[in-house]
Chains A and B, each alone.
Chain A
Amino acid sequence: MFKDESSYSVNPAGELLADWTAEAMVVANNAPVLARVEQYMARLSLNDTQRLWIRGEVVAQLRGADMEGEALYARAFASLHMALATLTDGDELDARLDLSLKLPVGETHDGKSCRWLQRQMAPAIARSSMASRPLNRSWGAALLRLATQSLLDRRAITANRRVLPGEA
């Protein structure tokens, strides 16, 4: 569950939280992974609260993870994307898209920003046919037409005229 800043409380007594040491260990042991995660998040327009919350989610997922190398990175990024998806209560791609388009994350288009963007790009298709019509290009036929229409009947008009609304 994502929390905004109003949900965070302070610890006036300054007591050590039980999980604090364990979390510090995770951060210390996975510094390169977290640095990569930070680098990734820096490219998104996250606010501080969102960034801290996602980071916390990633750290939580790394706690106790018994893996290294690419598997560890993959885990970290999987949890990062899961956290992003939680922001929109949907898909991480929708969340990234909202952030890219500077839209309130998860609050517009029912969280389906990808589908919305596709519709903006290309409206619904209303198909119509457009096929070329046969055109008689024969010179012989043209000369015959010239002789019969233009010379014999001088009143003839070669083009067909469209009937306008209101005309018989």
Chain B
Amino acid sequence: MGHSGARPWEAIGRYRRYWLSAFIILPACSAGLMLAQVLADRLPLWLEIPTLLIFALLFAWISAGFWTALVGFALLMRGRTDTAPGSPELRLAEPRPQSRVAIVMPIYNEEVERVAAGLQATYKSLQQAGALAHFEFFLLSDTRDPAIWLREELVWSALCQSLDAFGRIHYRRRPINNKAKSGNVADFCRRWGKDYEYMVVLDADSVMNGETLYRMLEMMEGNPQVGIIQTQPVAVNRETLYARLQQFAQHLYGPIFSAGLRFWQLGDGHYIGHNAILRTTPFTQYCALPVLPGRAPLGGPLLSHDFVEAALMAKNGWEVWFVPSLPGSYEEVPPTLIDDLKRDRRWAQGNLQHLRLLAGEGLRSAHRFLFINGAMSFLAAPLWGIFLILGALGSLHWTNTASGGSITPFDRGWLADPMPFWLFGVTAVLLLSPKFMAVLWVVRQRGQKDHFGGLFRLLASMFFESIFSILMAPIRMAFHSQFVIQTLMGRGVHWGGQVRGDQETSWADALRYFGWCSALGLSLAALLYPLLGAWHFAWLVPILGGLTAAVPLAAWTSRPALGRWARRHRLFVIPEEVHVPQELQALSMDSVAYLPHIEGDPFIQVVVDPRFNAIHTALQRNRTGAWPRAANLCHKALEQGPQELNNRERNILLSDRNSMLALHRAIWSTTDRARLAAWGLQSDDQELADVQIIGGK
């Protein structure tokens, strides 16, 4: 510690970031001055100054995206990824035989079969790559629902049995899940971190290619100064129209943005909490998260841990690299707009919390910028909302002063001044040109456009996706503004499981969640049209149209049938659908058809079925301290039936080996018909009849 020599990429990075800052600040100031010319003498000062400030801020925000995309585009068109000195790709080393990597998969009330399919796909891919010897898997469960917990255990044992992976796939369920996912990973580090030099963190829906994992290990081995290597996971596997649009956008536009991001970041990269490899010792030593003073939502434990972990790693002298050129890293996106917004709600709170760390001592400026960038992803929404309100007020003021209070439906006086059109054009270029750059890059690569359904389909998909994005923008603005206001007013969000399946949104749900958006859009349209006139109102149509269409958009885009229709017509096609990688083929539910199928209540099955009972009971300890309470609960279960036990009581019984054995024996020895039926067993008369029938046959 304490050595302060510059690393080879640092000077390059600083130089690049100065340029980026100049590219962001100077055009934003110029655009602000242009708008100032338009507004001068037309608006009162109290309206003009905030309009100009917010405009400049938002302009800077979108131009950061544009310059990132442009740099990424230039790099990709030159046919190479950025390899500044010190890049981990430049120095690979064959892993030492004793190098061990733990692949940790934190899960929380997840669909168990999907988790198993993903883990199995990654496992088999590693096996195929011949690299399994270095890797072990840890399923880290924070599940509270006993039914899902039991499924997880049985699926774990079946998975180990089928893959012959006992001792290579482990399972741990935390009894108390404090600090959510970050706490779960920290719990792993405290228990087993010492035994594994590296860990790869996966999400419940992550899948990774074995060769990619091995390459990441080689990079870590060859670069002892690197603390984290983050891949760019690509979105796959979804069927709803909403998710397919997201997948398509991420596949098409993602590479140029990723290449650009890498260009600015170098060794001060970001970490998104999954599909990344981490050096365990420094992570354990430095990346325990601080608890912010005060109460949630802005105080208390950090809800978004990943950016902070990367910042703490970098603060202590370890490099964090984003390597988008690593293929074979997959994830899934939320299937519907509702699920996407639910995730955004958590992220909004987490990212706003990061602002409280901005002044943290020793943090690197690149990571402070990432905190601001993350918070701006949500703060931009209310700023845009305020800008629109100011714009509407400005238009109203202008219309009234220009026409002496009388409103004309089409005020041609505007056409005389070209400046607003220039500003609109520049803004449109900043927002839309990355889409065209991405298409150009795809077209330039031989055969790549066919992976998006061919040139015509690619252009059509891009067109429809752009329309969709334009309509979605005001809906997101409305919700993100709501999230920011809620967070600032002290309303927190609870940790919940995520929806992973393709579940469509009913009209009733769409109306419940988005009814206010549509109502707002319609009311504003009815209010503003007579006040503004047709010409001024036309500028607001994309925004009011998006808001008004919120309900049907949410409902229709959640339909898997529409997504499948689009796929049949080769719209929103992604390369992984044209040539399905082996690890994604292995994800099909058929591949885990052998897993134990538990019919009905898993608690009953685990108490009654001698096989399930054996597996679960074998994994529990005798909790003598809990026995008096557990004994009472055993009696309650026997006398009143399992349905009368709540989840907490079930958890107590399930955690105690004695209770499980006692219940199992007592139920098989009972003669009471009602009790037998409650536990899903046949009465003796039926049993006997069945035995006789079988004997007769």
User: A121 and B3: CB pair below 8 A?
Assistant: no
Complex-state Cα separation, A76 to B610, whole angstroms: 15
User: B359 and A137: CB pair below 8 A?
Assistant: yes
How many A-B contacts are there with CB distance less than 8 Å? Answer: 192
User: A121 and B156: CB pair below 8 A?
Assistant: yes
Complex-state Cα separation, A145 to B10, whole angstroms: 20
Partner of B669 from the list A73, A118, A129, A133 (CB cut-off 8 Å) is: A73
* A160/B3 contact (C-beta < 8 A), A117-B157, A117-B619, A130-B186 known: yes
Q: Which residue from chain B places its CB closest to the CB of A69 in the assembled complex? A: B671
CB distance from B302 to the nearest CB of A (A): 10
Which residues of chain A come closer than 8 Å to B3, judged between CB atoms?
Answer: 160-163, 167
Within 8 A of B (CB), among A24-76: 31-33, 35-36, 38-40, 43-45, 69-70, 73-74, 76
Does B618 sit within 8 A of A, measured CB to CB? yes
Complex-state Cα separation, A99 to B615, whole angstroms: 10
Question: Interface size class for chain B?
Answer: 35 or more
Complex-state Cα separation, A101 to B160, whole angstroms: 10
Complex-state Cα separation, A35 to B691, whole angstroms: 7
Partner of B687 from the list A35, A117, A127 (CB cut-off 8 Å) is: A35
* A138/B359 contact (C-beta < 8 A), A81-B665, A99-B614, A125-B192 known: yes
Does A164 sit within 8 A of B, measured CB to CB? yes
CB distance from B102 to the nearest CB of A (A): 10
Does A14 sit within 8 A of B, measured CB to CB? no
Which residues of chain A come closer than 8 Å to B615, judged between CB atoms?
Answer: 97, 100-101, 117
User: A122 and B170: CB pair below 8 A?
Assistant: yes
User: B687 and A36: CB pair below 8 A?
Assistant: yes
* A93/B224 contact (C-beta < 8 A), A44-B610, A122-B171, A126-B195 known: no
Q: Which residue from chain A places its CB closest to the CB of B365 in the assembled complex? A: A158
User: B611 and A96: CB pair below 8 A?
Assistant: yes
Does B507 sit within 8 A of A, measured CB to CB? no
Does A139 sit within 8 A of B, measured CB to CB? yes
Point out which of B157, B610, B612 has the most chain A C-beta atoms below 10 A from its C-beta: B610
Does B633 sit within 8 A of A, measured CB to CB? no
Partner of A130 from the list B10, B160, B195, B284 (CB cut-off 8 Å) is: B284
Contact flags A74-100 to B (C-beta < 8 A → 1, else 0) = 101110010000000000011011011
User: B315 and A132: CB pair below 8 A?
Assistant: no
Which residues of chain A come closer than 8 Å to B167, judged between CB atoms?
Answer: 119-120, 123
Q: Which residue from chain A places its CB closest to the CB of B6 in the assembled complex? A: A157
Contact flags B588-613 to A (C-beta < 8 A → 1, else 0) = 00000000000000000000011111
Q: Which residue from chain A places its CB closest to the CB of B291 in the assembled complex? A: A132
Does A141 sit within 8 A of B, measured CB to CB? yes
Does B406 sit within 8 A of A, measured CB to CB? no
User: B362 and A160: CB pair below 8 A?
Assistant: yes
Complex-state Cα separation, A119 to B359, whole angstroms: 45
Complex-state Cα separation, A130 to B2, whole angstroms: 21
Contact flags A100-121 to B (C-beta < 8 A → 1, else 0) = 1110000000000110011111
Does A135 sit within 8 A of B, measured CB to CB? yes
User: A130 and B291: CB pair below 8 A?
Assistant: no
Which residues of chain A come closer than 8 Å to B284, judged between CB atoms?
Answer: 128-130
Contact flags B277-296 to A (C-beta < 8 A → 1, else 0) = 00000101110111100000
Within 8 A of A (CB), among B614-640: 614-615, 617-619
Within 8 A of A (CB), among B115-139: none
Complex-state Cα separation, A73 to B192, whole angstroms: 46
User: A97 and B618: CB pair below 8 A?
Assistant: yes
Which residues of chain B come closer than 8 Å to A136, judged between CB atoms?
Answer: 360-361
User: A38 and B691: CB pair below 8 A?
Assistant: yes
User: B618 and A118: CB pair below 8 A?
Assistant: yes
Does B7 sit within 8 A of A, measured CB to CB? yes
Complex-state Cα separation, A73 to B362, whole angstroms: 71
Q: Which residue from chain B places its CB closest to the CB of A31 in the assembled complex? A: B688
Complex-state Cα separation, A163 to B2, whole angstroms: 8
User: B172 and A122: CB pair below 8 A?
Assistant: yes
Partner of A96 from the list B193, B361, B614 (CB cut-off 8 Å) is: B614
Which residues of chain B come closer than 8 Å to A130, judged between CB atoms?
Answer: 186, 189-190, 193, 284-285, 288
Complex-state Cα separation, A167 to B5, whole angstroms: 11
User: B172 and A121: CB pair below 8 A?
Assistant: yes
Which residues of chain A come closer than 8 Å to B671, judged between CB atoms?
Answer: 69-70, 73
Partner of A93 from the list B171, B617, B690 (CB cut-off 8 Å) is: B617
Q: Which residue from chain B places its CB closest to the CB of A132 in the assembled complex? A: B288
User: A113 and B160: CB pair below 8 A?
Assistant: no
Does A142 sit within 8 A of B, measured CB to CB? yes
User: A137 and B357: CB pair below 8 A?
Assistant: yes
Which residues of chain B come closer than 8 Å to A102, judged between CB atoms?
Answer: 161
Which residues of chain B come closer than 8 Å to A162, judged between CB atoms?
Answer: 1, 3, 225, 282, 316-318
Complex-state Cα separation, A78 to B669, whole angstroms: 9
User: B166 and A120: CB pair below 8 A?
Assistant: yes
Does B4 sit within 8 A of A, measured CB to CB? yes
Which residues of chain B come closer than 8 Å to A93, judged between CB atoms?
Answer: 614, 617-618, 661
Complex-state Cα separation, A119 to B161, whole angstroms: 15
User: A135 and B357: CB pair below 8 A?
Assistant: yes
Q: Which residue from chain A places its CB closest to the CB of B357 in the assembled complex? A: A137
Complex-state Cα separation, A168 to B507, whole angstroms: 68
CB distance from A135 to the nearest CB of B (A): 5
* A43/B357 contact (C-beta < 8 A), A117-B157, A160-B316, A161-B5 known: no
CB distance from A3 to the nearest CB of B (A): 22
User: B5 and A142: CB pair below 8 A?
Assistant: no
Partner of B161 from the list A39, A101, A141 (CB cut-off 8 Å) is: A101
Q: Which residue from chain B places its CB closest to the CB of A143 in the assembled complex? A: B359
Does B337 sit within 8 A of A, measured CB to CB? no
User: B682 and A39: CB pair below 8 A?
Assistant: yes
User: B1 and A35: CB pair below 8 A?
Assistant: no
Q: Which residue from chain B places its CB closest to the CB of A80 in the assembled complex? A: B668
Point out which of B2, B284, B669 has the most chain A C-beta atoms below 10 A from its C-beta: B669
Does A131 sit within 8 A of B, measured CB to CB? yes
Complex-state Cα separation, A26 to B460, whole angstroms: 80
CB distance from B282 to the nearest CB of A (A): 8
User: B5 and A40: CB pair below 8 A?
Assistant: no
CB distance from B181 to the nearest CB of A (A): 15
Which residues of chain A come closer than 8 Å to B186, judged between CB atoms?
Answer: 130
Which residues of chain A come closer than 8 Å to B314, judged between CB atoms?
Answer: 159
CB distance from B171 to the nearest CB of A (A): 5
User: B364 and A158: CB pair below 8 A?
Assistant: yes
User: B359 and A139: CB pair below 8 A?
Assistant: yes
Does B644 sit within 8 A of A, measured CB to CB? no
User: A35 and B170: CB pair below 8 A?
Assistant: no
CB distance from B82 to the nearest CB of A (A): 21
Partner of B224 from the list A134, A138, A164 (CB cut-off 8 Å) is: A164
Q: Which are the 5 A-B pairs with shortest beta-carbon distances?
A: A96-B614, A32-B684, A142-B359, A100-B611, A162-B317
| Residue positions of B touching A, CB distance < 8 A | 1-7, 10, 156-157, 160-161, 166-167, 170-172, 186, 189-195, 224-225, 282, 284-286, 288-291, 314-318, 356-365, 609-615, 617-619, 661, 665, 668-671, 681-682, 684-685, 687-688, 690-691
Q: A118-B619, A127-B191 are in contact. List 12 more A-B contacts (CB 8 A).
A: A32-B685, A35-B688, A35-B690, A38-B687, A40-B668, A77-B668, A97-B618, A136-B361, A137-B358, A137-B359, A158-B364, A160-B3
14 CB contacts below 8 A, A to B, read: A35-B684, A35-B687, A39-B681, A39-B687, A99-B610, A114-B617, A118-B618, A118-B619, A121-B156, A126-B194, A135-B357, A158-B364, A159-B315, A162-B225
